[in-house]
Amino acid sequence: MHVMILGAAGMVGRKLTDRIASSPHILGGEITRLTLVDAFQPTVPAALQSITTAQTADLADATVAPKLIATRPDLIFHLAAIVSGEAEADFDKGYSVNLDGTRALFETIRHEGLKDRYVPRVLFASSIAVFGTPFPDIIPDDFFTTPLTSYGTQKAIAELLLADYSRRGIFDGLGIRLPTICVRPGAPNKAASGFFSNILREPLVGQPAILPVSDQVRHWFASPRSAVGFFVHAATIDTQKIGPRRNLTMPGLSALVADEIEALRRVAGDRAVALIRREPDPVIERIVAGWATQFDAQRALALGFKAETNFEEIIQAHIEDELEGKIA
Amino acid sequence: MHVMILGAAGMVGRKLTDRIASSPHILGGEITRLTLVDAFQPTVPAALQSITTAQTADLADATVAPKLIATRPDLIFHLAAIVSGEAEADFDKGYSVNLDGTRALFETIRHEGLKDRYVPRVLFASSIAVFGTPFPDIIPDDFFTTPLTSYGTQKAIAELLLADYSRRGIFDGLGIRLPTICVRPGAPNKAASGFFSNILREPLVGQPAILPVSDQVRHWFASPRSAVGFFVHAATIDTQKIGPRRNLTMPGLSALVADEIEALRRVAGDRAVALIRREPDPVIERIVAGWATQFDAQRALALGFKAETNFEEIIQAHIEDELEGKIA
């Protein structure tokens, strides 16, 4: 099996690569070739060095998809994207990568299949940004996609294309709508959602963190480990059971910031919680108020997708995967 | 006001042109220029001959939109499309016109606005084909768009683009999801939905018609007169009241084929009804079973959009508009 990861240098891409390297049969067959692609140089896993090619490429460049797809990968993880803030700030860049790049990939697969039968599985990283306020308290699987960002628009369009190409048998696609990933590893960043991770990740290593919203803010979470698990599960699932509605809201944990803090207290004690400094920021409070807080992800759950059910699990996953099991 | 109609030679385009010609202030201001565009030569209305330009052009040709938009129309009716059956049969043609042509139009408006402020109103003909089975009995305004045709996919993508461009203030757009238009004027055609009109239009002029499905089939209808009315109303509506969810399912009449037949009987008598020959066609029955039968178009109704409430009104509109008030 030839596996290709587009967006392999991103957070989910790197963790997916590591998961495959440590469990080479996890995708349901022997991997004979692994191709890692990203705008930034992807890291080749030592365990799969002999079968891995890593390259930098930009999907918005029309010559890229034909070269990649000429190698006929059997399984394609399409995680490459311009992120939300940048897609909103740079209209052309967002549409160019997130829409045109995705469509170029899909069209190239179609043209490759016209030469000689070729129906790869395509797993696409979508987002709950396809939804826009106002929301019901719990968003059902059949709620409409009325995004309020260009990023969400581009993801929703890619979902529609993925479903149509899959319906026509051009490829076997599945769109995976990720919750907000928490605890995000790495340094604190300026993303409006950053604090959800910062208030756990920093205190766990003895560092202070700022909480800019009320602890009664509710949000929708899954760990990086679960995010990788969604894609691994999607790689082996029987897509006949899914039918033509190929885009699935993933399960997640609906939790208050207060739930995060109490879980941190149970795992790391009052000393860790004391490192959280409350500094209300009306701008961030307003942005966060526009985000979905809870989904009833019935279809994905019925298909066997799994996420954490409490915040201690999310924190434990971070401690095991990022801190070698040790906290400050 | 400069008004442009793309798809002016189609059924709705012609009737919209006629409506404007007979009531030149119906769009809320004096029309100083009317531009009619279609793949087929549009007819210039006599009453507006001095201010009308009619031309053939293909939106899929990248040079077309820039030439059209350089004239800076204030109000654009975008009715141009490859129809459902053809978009399904010819993948490239459907995506080229319905997606790329629409996006080229939107992008050209954006670039024109970057030169000098330009925010036209754009009224887009969408379709209930954006929805796909299985449906609830009555489809609510917040039901998701999971089309089961490439045509429906292309319309749903255009809706997403329209909402994003409107949200960003690039233009002031509104997507109008039309019900099945009945009674369609003209000769019987081979469209799977043709019989809904054929069984009324033909008997009204003393001609036989074939009914290929059970008279217990339910469907969602509006007259051509209502369809034109939707676009006229959308031209003058206060879009501030609509918010960012810019695509609206239009009101319509949910009726059985039996309701059509009884209305025909009341309007034109048993002799007309006797001209309907029942010839069940399993292929058409199966296609029709996949179509939506009823919507709860609350948002559009609240915004003042109106359709017929019984089939006699639909038949009377046809008799007045197409038969000069006379039946056989």
Q: B211-221 pLDDT, tens per residue?
A: 999 999 999 99
Please report the residues numbered 84 through 103 in chain B whose beta carbons come closer than 8 angstroms to any beta carbon of chain A: 91
Mutate to test the interface with B, among A144, A242, A247 (most CBs of B within 10 A): A144
Smallest Cα distance from B266 to chain A, Å: 41
CB contact (8 A) between residue B144 and residue A147: no
Q: Which domain holds residue A257?
A: 179-221+252-293+309-328
- A32 and A158 part of one domain: yes
Q: Say if residue A187's pLDDT is above 90.
A: no
Contact A160 B142 (CB under 8 A): no
Is B298 contained in some domain?
A: no
The Cα–Cα gap between A245 and A177 comes to 13
* Three-state SS at A191: coil
Residue B275: which of B267, B265, B285 has the closest Cα? B265
**Count of CA atoms in the C-beta half-sphere (13 A) of B94:** 19
- CB–CB of A146 and B91 under 8 A? no
Question: Does B163 sit within 8 Å of A147, measured CB to CB?
Answer: yes
Q: Are strands B172-178 and B121-127 parallel, antiparallel or unpaired?
A: parallel
Residues 6+ apart with CB under 8 A from A293: A135, A137, A218, A219, A220, A254
* Residue linked to tokens 């928490």: A182
Residues of B in contact with A132 (CB under 8 A): 244-245
Q: Which residue is closest to A142 within chain B, CA to CA?
A: B144
ipTM rounded to 2 decimals = 0.96
Q: Which residues from A are below 8 Å from B164, CB to CB?
A: 147, 150, 153
Report the residue of B160, B174, B242 to disrupt the A interface, i.e. the one with the largest count of A CBs within 10 Å.
B160
Provide CB contacts within 8 A for B281, sequence distance 6+: B212, B213
- For residue B121, report the phi and psi dihedrals to the nearest 5 degrees: -85, 135
Distance CA B90, CA B84 (A): 10
- The answer to whether B111 contacts chain A (CB < 8 Å) is no
The mean pLDDT value of chain B amounts to: 96
Cβ under 8 Å to B: A residues 122-181: 132, 142-148, 150, 153, 156-157, 160-161, 163-164, 167-168
Q: Is A313 helix (H, G, I), strand (E, B) or coil?
A: helix
Report the interhelical angle of B150-167 vs B102-115 (nearest 10°).
10
Which tokens in the block code for residue A80?
């490459």
Query: Structural domain tally of chain A?
Result: 2
CA-nearest residue of chain A to B107?
Answer: A92
Asked whether residue A304 is assigned to any structural domain, the reply reads: no
CATH number of the domain within which A263 lies:
3.90.25.10
Nearest residue on chain A to B162, alpha-carbon basis:
A153
- Is there a contact between B132 and A244 if contact means CB atoms under 8 Å apart? yes
pLDDT at A189: 72
A163 contacts in chain B (CB < 8 Å): 146-147, 153
Spatial separation of the C-alpha atoms in residues A148 and B167, rounded to whole Å: 8
Within this chain, do residues A110 and A190 fall inside the same structural domain, yes or no? no
pLDDT of residue A260: 98
| Residues of chain B found within 8 Å of residue A164, distances taken between Cβ atoms | 147, 150, 153
A84 shares its domain with A137: yes
The dihedral region occupied by B38, where left means phi > 0, alpha psi between -120 and 50, and beta the remainder, is beta
Report yes or no on A300 lying in a domain. no
User: Does residue A125 share a domain with residue A256?
Assistant: no
What per-residue confidence (pLDDT) applies to A328?
77
Mean pLDDT along residues A127-148: 96
| Residue B256 falls inside a structural domain | no
Average pLDDT on A190-197 reads: 88
Residue B104: predicted pLDDT: 98
Position A39 scores a pLDDT of 95
B chain contacts of residue A160, beta-carbon cutoff 8 Å: 145, 147, 153, 156-157, 160
Asked if residue B318 lies in contact with residue B223, where contact means CB atoms within 8 angstroms, the answer is yes
Q: Where are the beta strands (DSSP E) in A262-311?
A: 276-278
Q: Is A296 exposed, middle or buried (0-12, 13-18, 19+ CB in 10 A)?
A: middle
Answer whether residue A274 is part of any domain: yes
> What residues have CB less than 8 Å from A123, skipping those under 6 apart?
A75, A76, A77, A78, A173, A174, A176, A231, A234, A235
Cβ pair B163:A144 closer than 8 A: no
pLDDT, average across residues B117-130: 97
Element (DSSP H or E) covering residue A311: helix A311-322
pLDDT value of residue A48 = 97
Residues A150 and A215 in one domain: no
**Amino acid type, A185:** P
Q: Among partner residues B142, B153, B245, which is closest to A160 by beta-carbon distance?
A: B153
Percent of chain B scored above 90 by pLDDT?
A: 95
Q: What is the pLDDT of residues A256-278, one digit of tens each?
A: 999 999 999 999 999 999 999 99
Residue A92 has pLDDT above 80, yes or no: yes
Phi, psi of B110 (to 5 degrees): -60, -45
Per DSSP, the residues of A58-110 read: -TTSTTHHHHHHTT--SEEEE-----HHHHHH-HHHHIIIIIIIHHHHHHHHH
The reported pLDDT for the residue numbered A70 is 98
Residue of A91, A133, A148, A153 best to disrupt the B interface, most CBs of B under 10 A: A153
> What residue in B sits closest to A244 (Cα-Cα)?
B148
Measured N-to-C along each axis, helices B224-236 and B311-322 cross at an angle, to the nearest 10 degrees, of 90
* Averaged pLDDT, A29-49: 97
Region for residue A236 given its phi and psi (left: phi exceeds 0; alpha: psi -120 to 50; beta: otherwise): alpha
Query: Is A92 found in the same domain as A158?
Result: yes
Residues 6+ apart with CB under 8 A from B219: B180, B193, B196, B254, B255, B257, B288, B291, B293
Are both A132 and A208 inside the same structural domain? no
> Average pLDDT, stretch A141-166?
97
Together in a domain, A75 and A129: yes
Q: Are A160 and B156 an interchain contact pair (Cβ–Cβ within 8 Å)?
A: yes
Give the torsion sign (CA, B291, B296, B302, B307).
positive
Helix or strand run (H / E) with residue A167:
helix A150-167
Q: In Å, how far is B95's CA from the nearest CA of chain A? A: 10
Residue A260 resides in a domain = yes
CB-nearest to A156 from B142, B150, B160 is B160
- Six token digits for residue B173: 């757009």
What's the mean pLDDT when you consider all of chain A?
Answer: 96
| Within-domain flag for B49 | yes
Asked if the peptide bond before residue B134 counts as cis, ω within 30 degrees of 0, the response is yes
pLDDT at B188: 80
Which pLDDT score, from 0 to 100, does residue A104 have?
Answer: 98
User: How do residues B53-70 score in pLDDT, each as one tens digit?
Assistant: 999 999 999 999 999 999
All residues of chain A having their beta carbon less than 8 Å from the beta carbon of residue B94 are none
Nearest Cβ partner for B148 among A143, A153, A244: A244
State the pLDDT at residue B328: 77
pLDDT reading at A191 higher than 90:
no
Residue A190 has pLDDT above 80, yes or no: no
- Are residues A21 and A121 located together in one domain of the fold? yes
For A200-212, write each residue's pLDDT tens digit. Answer: 999 999 999 999 9
Percent of chain A with pLDDT over 70: 100
Cβ within 8 Å, pair B160-A150: no
Verify that A73 and A102 share a domain, yes or no: yes
B209 lies in some domain: no
Catalytic hit among A95, A118, A151, A165: A151
User: Are A214 and A228 members of one domain?
Assistant: no
Tell me the average pLDDT across B222-227: 98
Yes or no: say if A287 and A192 are a contact pair by the CB < 8 Å rule: yes
Contacts of A145 in chain B (CB under 8 A): 144-145, 160
Q: With contact defined as beta carbons under 8 Å apart, do B63 and B105 qualify?
A: no
- Mean pLDDT value across residues B129-149: 96
Task: Work out the angle at residue B234's Cα, subtended by the Cα atoms of residues B232 and B238, and round it to the nearest 5 degrees.
Answer: 130
A153 vs B147, B148, B164: nearest CB: B164
- Tallying the residues shown for chain B, one arrives at 328
Q: Where are the alpha helices (DSSP H) in chain B?
A: 11-22, 64-69, 84-89, 91-94, 102-115, 150-167, 194-204, 224-236, 257-273, 282-289, 298-302, 311-322
**Can you read off the two tokens belonging to residue B288?**
């029709």
Q: In which band, very low, low, confident or very high, does the pLDDT at B327 lie, cut at 50, 70 and 90? A: confident
Model confidence at B22, pLDDT cuts 50, 70, 90, reads very high
Joined tokens for residue B7:
């798809």
Instruction: For residue B110, list chain A residues with Cβ-Cβ distance below 8 A.
Output: 91
Say what the pLDDT of residue A15 is: 97
Size of interface A-B (CB pairs under 8 A): 56
Tell me the CATH number at B35. Answer: 3.40.50.720
Fill in the amino acid letter for A267: V
Shared domain for A269 and A240, answered yes or no, is: no
